């Protein structure tokens, strides 16, 4: 054996659901918080600026936990040292005139990036939005648009692809 652990089984904290929902964190099948990528982004989460350290991600021994916490701390320092944060321009925007305030997009957004504003309309926080497009599909009145991925732009891309494909197939 490389490692023998004499310890009773551990499981996620009882409030893990609430914390995951608050920060838009992914979960493993066992309920631990999930990293963005196990090899390439082991302390990052799907929510920019939120990092994981220690046993919130699953059982770990002490050296592993300390190394993990150090890596998470470095990520925070790196973020602060940037001075400013660049966010993607591919975010969702709400047309308030078409929004009926049903809240479906708020429920659908996996990153908690949408909330109701003072007028009862949905409003996207561009710093949290990942541009996934889930809210666009969830909004029945069609009040949300994903910038740079409007219906017209997607149809134009499909037309372009079909045109290229026809040129290749029919010389
Ligand atoms: S789903 Fe559409 S209509 Fe409903 S709150 Fe969201 S933006 Fe408004
Ligand atoms: S595009 Fe995705 S992340 Fe952005 S507000 Fe819509 S559902 Fe949320």
Atom of ligand 2 nearest to the CA of 105: 7
Write out the two tokens for 160: 């372009």
Please give the distance, rounded to the nearest whole angstrom, from the Cα atom of residue 28 to the centre of ligand 2.
21
Residue 54 inside a domain? The answer is yes
Pocket lining for ligand 2, CB < 6 angstroms? 91-92, 108-109, 111, 113-114, 124, 129-135, 146
Q: What is the mean pLDDT of residues 37-44?
A: 89
Indicate if 73 and 41 belong to the same structural domain: yes
Indicate if 53 and 114 belong to the same structural domain: no
Indicate if 96 and 165 belong to the same structural domain: yes
Residue 73 inside a domain? The answer is yes
Write out the two tokens for 155: 């149809």
CA separation for the pair 91, 80 (Å, rounded): 23
CATH at residue 162: 3.30.70.20
Please give the distance, rounded to the nearest whole angstrom, from the Cα atom of residue 93 to the centre of ligand 1.
11
Specify whether the CB–CB gap between 31 and 15 falls below 8 A: no
Residue 3 inside a domain? The answer is no
Listed residue (139, 56, 127, 49) closest to 95, CA to CA = 139
Atom of ligand 1 nearest to the CA of 100: 3
Please give the distance, rounded to the nearest whole angstrom, from the Cα atom of residue 138 to the centre of ligand 1.
8
Give, using CA atoms, the residue closest to atom 2 of ligand 2: 132
pLDDT of res. 168: 62
Residue 126 inside a domain? The answer is yes
- Write out the residue range of the structural domain in which residue 59 sits: 16-81
Indicate if 120 and 145 belong to the same structural domain: yes
For residue range 47-68, list pLDDT tens digits in order.
888 999 999 999 988 999 999 9
Domain termination site, one of 59, 81, 103:
81
Average pLDDT over all residues of the chain: 89
Domain termination site, one of 40, 62, 81:
81
Q: What is the 3-state secondary structure (H, E, C) of 72-120?
A: HHHHHHHHHHCCCCCCCCCCEEECCCCCCCCCHHHHHCCCCCEEECCCC
Residue 4 inside a domain? The answer is no
Number of domains in the chain: 2
For residue range 82-121, list pLDDT tens digits in order.
888 888 889 999 999 999 999 999 999 988 899 999 999 9
Residue 87 inside a domain? The answer is no
Please give the distance, rounded to the nearest whole angstrom, from the Cα atom of residue 25 to the centre of ligand 2.
14
Domain termination site, one of 47, 81, 115:
81
| This prediction's pTM | 0.68
Indicate if 97 and 156 belong to the same structural domain: yes
């Amino acid at each position: 054996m490389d490692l023998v652990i004499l310890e009773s089984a551990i499981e996620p904290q009882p409030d893990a659901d609430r914390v995951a929902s608050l920060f838009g964190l992914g979960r493993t099948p066992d309920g631990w918080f999930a990293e963005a990528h196990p090899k390439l982004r082991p302390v990052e989460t799907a929510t920019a600026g939120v990092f994981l350290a220690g046993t919130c991600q699953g059982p770990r021994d002490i050296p592993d936990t300390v190394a993990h916490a150090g890596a998470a701390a470095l990520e925070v320092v790196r973020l602060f040292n940037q001075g400013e944060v660049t966010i993607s321009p591919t975010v969702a925007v709400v047309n308030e005139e078409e929004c009926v305030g049903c809240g479906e997009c708020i429920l659908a957004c996996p990153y908690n990036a949408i909330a109701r504003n003072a007028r009862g309309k949905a409003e996207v926080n561009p710093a949290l939005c990942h541009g996934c497009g889930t809210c666009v599909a969830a909004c029945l009145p069609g009040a949300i648009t994903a910038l740079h991925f409007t219906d017209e732009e997607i149809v134009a891309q499909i037309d372009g692809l079909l045109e290229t494909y026809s040129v290749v197939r029919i010389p």
